Structure 1
Amino acid sequence: MRRRDLITVIGGTPIAWPCTVLAQPTGQVRLVGVLMGFEDEAISRALVAQFRASLATLGWKEGDNLRIALRWGTGSTDRIAALARELVNMRPDAILGETTPVAVALARETKSIPIVFVTVSDPVGSGLAASVVHPGGNVTGFTYVESTVGGKWVELLKELVPRTLRVALLFNPATAPPLKFYLPSIQAAATSLAIQTSTAPVHARDEIETVVAAQARGPGGGLIVMPDIFNAAHHELIIALAARYGVPAIFGNDFAESGGLIFYGADFAETFRLGAGYIDRVLKGANPGDLPIQLPQKFTLSLNLKTAKALGLTVPGSLLARADEVIE
């Protein structure tokens, strides 16, 4: 079940676009680079397909007036840096970058080629923009979380699993957005619900099991899988380990359809559609520094009832009623 709302406002105020009339696509073939943080057959490829389809509806047709140079990261900062350099050296007309590490790597390589980012957590804190309303420079785009979402992860996990007494935050320091962006809201919610929190940094795939197993050793253990391209690249392993050890986990990326118990965040597909809109504006002459960064106002809640049943959980009716997507 899906109920998706358009995310096109900042701070609750509708964006007023400038009245400047921009040039329409011409016969010239424009090159757009796309750098994804990780590759997943069912998830990230569908997002790229959404981006392509959205550009087509705006008049940009591959093989006609558009060429897309697509590159896939693997959740590795070294590979992302190399791919960012490769794309910039191609001198595209614009680049779409997915995730914070990707956007940062692209911005490091060029101060002139327009960059539109999607699924970035803290663009100002990450040094990508001077401000949300007036980014300046050559970078703008769409965030998919705000700092207070951390507290919602804690609250939702507690609502779904009342026995939760402690949660670990799973993340890779090299690839995750700065943890300080989320920590205040996470700690405030945890304190109010008498939940202990701990950080669980990992640097390699074989370290993940240690974190999950630790949460299973005592009563009331849970996991917050932070939005992180490392976690995204290894989501199947994290989901499998959470099931094996019986640890309830809430995800900062939408992996409910892959077996993740619960997700709360913005609609990624909608973000890519909106990203295509900004790429369209840039190709028609808009300055990215003049395009405000857009913040999500409507968040999506996804639940996997099969996973909940396997963990022996009864999903509250109030939570089911609020869910945008329920996988049975």
Structure 2
Amino acid sequence: MREIVPAASLIAAVLNPGTPYAALAYRELETAARVAKIELRAFEVRSPEEIPPQLEASKVAGAGGLAILEDPFTFSQRTEIAAAASRLRLPAIYGYREFAEAGGLMSYGTDHGKQWRRGAEIIDLILKGGKPADIPVEQPTTFELVVNLKTAKASNITVPPTILVRADKIIE
């Protein structure tokens, strides 16, 4: 986000406070924001009706961009969130590639399909008699950057070449 809007002093974290993940992810974002010397402010969404006014409130507050924290609710509303961010010309980053595929500007995160397949493999091991205690804990080792240039053009957002060259997928 710093490369997309280098002058931004405030980034809005859009989150559903009803999910335990939101508090954990927000704390991690706060740490990163402090290091980057960017103010981070939470904007809470609990229902579809709250999405447009909360994103508008973030823009009025001076947010230069959005970080959307994913959970089942925000994931189910990804098209609406992406459309509202685009309409407001607010660059947004998401953790799941499905957000970028639904019209969001960019996503950076793990390949969730790969994680789900690996989870199925582990369940298969257990069902075949493997002891859960013998199966090592695994963490993702690869992350993918997806950039939606259609959204960037429609929102009049310039994506720097430094991001495009690192992108794993570009949606045109």
* TM-score normalised by the chain length of structure 1: 0.49
1:1-328 equivalences in 2 (<5 Å): 157-183=1-27, 185-217=28-60, 219-254=62-97, 255-328=99-172
Distance 1:181 1:306, change over 3 A: closer
Please name the residue that 1:16 is paired with. Answer: none
Note if contact 2:12-2:63 (Cα within 8 Å) is conserved in structure 1.
no
Please tell me the residue identity of whatever aligns with 1:209.
P
| Structure 2 unaligned blocks of 5 or more | none
Note if contact 2:82-2:103 (Cα within 8 Å) is conserved in structure 1.
yes
CA RMSD of aligned residues (A): 1.8
Per-residue deviation at 1:316?
1.5
Per-residue deviation at 1:263?
0.5
Per-residue deviation at 1:219?
4.4
Per chain length, whose mean CA-contact separation is higher, i.e. which structure has more relative contact order (CA < 8 Å, sep 6+)?
A: 1
Please tell me the residue identity of whatever aligns with 2:113.
A
Q: Which has the higher helix share?
A: 2
Query: Which whole-Å CA distance do the structure 2 matches of 1:181 and 1:326 have between them?
Result: 26
Note if contact 1:176-1:229 (Cα within 8 Å) is conserved in structure 2.
no
| Structure 1 unaligned blocks of 5 or more | 1-156
Instruction: Find the residue that maps to 1:159 and give its secondary structure.
Output: coil
Note if contact 1:215-1:247 (Cα within 8 Å) is conserved in structure 2.
no
Query: Which whole-Å CA distance do the structure 2 matches of 1:178 and 1:203 have between them?
Result: 12
Note if contact 2:4-2:91 (Cα within 8 Å) is conserved in structure 1.
no
Instruction: Find the residue that maps to 2:21 and give its secondary structure.
Output: coil
Please tell me the residue identity of whatever aligns with 1:233.
S
Please tell me the residue identity of whatever aligns with 2:111.
D
Per-residue deviation at 1:190?
2.0
User: Alpha-carbon deviations, 1:238-286, whole Å to 9, x = none?
Assistant: 0111111111111122221111111011001111221221122122111
User: Alpha-carbon deviations, 1:36-76, whole Å to 9, x = none?
Assistant: xxxxxxxxxxxxxxxxxxxxxxxxxxxxxxxxxxxxxxxxx
User: Alpha-carbon deviations, 1:279-301, whole Å to 9, x = none?
Assistant: 22122111224322210111111
Please tell me the residue identity of whatever aligns with 2:94.
F
Note if contact 1:176-1:226 (Cα within 8 Å) is conserved in structure 2.
no
Query: Which whole-Å CA distance do the structure 2 matches of 1:176 and 1:244 have between them?
Result: 29
Per-residue deviation at 1:192?
3.7
Distance 1:198 1:288, change over 3 A: same
* TM-score normalised by the chain length of structure 2: 0.89
Count of equivalent residues: 171
Distance 1:181 1:310, change over 3 A: closer
Per-residue deviation at 1:187?
2.4
Name the larger-Rg structure. Answer: 1
